[in-house]
Amino acid sequence: MSENLFLDDFTVGQRFVSGEHLIDEAQIKAFASQFDPQPFHLDDDAAQSTLFRGLAASGWHTAAITMRLMVQGGMPVEGGLIGAGGDISWPKPTRPGDVLRVESEVVSITPSRSKPQQGMMTVRGETLNQHGDAVQVLVVKMVVPRRV
């Protein structure tokens, strides 16, 4: 899809699938070193004795990769992807070697009463690994422009 969509172009239940991203141990450790320096994100041996039972990506790393996949063709919103907030959960850890993709569904569409040029759209995005397991579920409220 090459053309970006306005709020008026979306429909509830509409689905989008992103491209894929392969995450490896080096990426996991690099992100964790900078933003989440805990043993279970930095060292496979140290991670064995933790809740994770092996090296796992920071949840915020999974979130950041999810954003990258969304921006790069995951959902073509006019003006870009701007989130106001949402609910996030990580049902399973992201592991080295996982191939992630994002499957998104439009949950609700709400034109603004006070701002005729925009509205809010709620999107439920599942970040899935190569086995089809959800490693992240994000229900996010996005600001989306209208065709005016």
Cβ closest to a second copy, residue 60 vs residue 103: 60
**110-119 contacts: CB < 8 A, separation 24 or more?**
111/7, 111/146, 116/146, 116/148, 117/145, 117/146, 117/148, 118/7, 118/143, 118/144, 118/145, 118/146, 119/7, 119/143, 119/144, 119/146
Would you count residue 16 as binding a second copy (CB under 8 A)?
no
Residue type, 135: V
Distance of closest approach, residue 15 Cβ to a second copy, in angstroms: 22
- Window contacting a second copy (CB under 8 A); options: 4-12, 67-75, 101-109, 124-132: 67-75
Q: From the CB of residue 84, how many other CB atoms can be counted at a distance below 10 Å?
A: 9
Question: Is residue 6 involved in binding a second copy (CB under 8 A)?
Answer: no
Binder to a second copy among 6, 9, 14, 64 (CB under 8 A)?
Answer: 64
Residues in contact with a second copy by the rule CB under 8 A: 31, 34-40, 50-51, 58-60, 63-65, 67-68, 71-72, 79-90, 137, 143
